[in-house]
Amino acid sequence: MSQARLNVRLLSMTPDALSVIYAAFRQCYSPGYVGELWPRLVGGEVDVAEQARFVADVMESGHHSPVEHVSFTFAVEGVSRALTHQLVRHRLASYSQQSQRYVNESGFEYVLPPQIAKIPEARELFEEFMARTAQTYGRLRELLQAHGRKGAKANEDARFVLPQAAESKIVLTMNCRSLLHFFALRCCERAQWEIRAMAKKMLVICQEQLPVVFQHAGARCVGLGYCPEGERFTCGRYPLQPKPSQSGG
């Protein structure tokens, strides 16, 4: 058993992503057929910088739906089941997660919360529990197999003792609009620390690959310039949302 380490890798993204978004935006405002424009876009006849400027200008106006035509696929490891339970609540996405039924979790890795790691007594208690759980899981598998529950049949029952800290691996695909929403929520300081760390790694990758779409992405306060969370929940990074002005008459 050992402590898991977060790792995020980009597997793939829509080819010619900028040109796809540019073509989609153009189709919204053009009487012509962008299918005829496409060879010029991918052939380099329309300057990439011009495409980026157009996309940025239209997005600045609040028109975001055409970015849904581009998606990113990530492979993630070193995250807890607690994180993936939060992640899959983002419904406009596709997920393929490591199965605790088909994968033998004997000696599973685990995610250690930083605040627990800071307290020696708490860390010792946490790690002792992980070790006891691994032993219990292994013994349950042995007993189940001895009574005819072989392979995945033993795993599917023994897994009920596994903790939320158990490490998991997952492949996820989101389109750009879903990613913008994901980053707005999960890069916020109010988000749970583990999913926030994963979101920030994903954001760096997206900004490198498609800066025109993700240059201002992140927690909602980044784009708004103020904190929309209210006085009770603000982290103090940005001023609070301005209150509506009241005019007398």
Give catalytic residues, as residue numbers.
Answer: 186
SS3 content of the chain, % helix, strand, coil (to 5): 50, 15, 35
Question: Which two three-digit tokens encode residue 115?
Answer: 């605040």
Task: Show the DSSP H helices in the chain as ranges.
Answer: 17-29, 34-42, 48-60, 81-87, 114-117, 120-146, 152-158, 176-186, 193-209, 211-214, 220-224
CA–CA separation, 141 vs 150, rounded Å? 9
**Measured distance CA(20)–CA(202) in Å, rounded:** 21
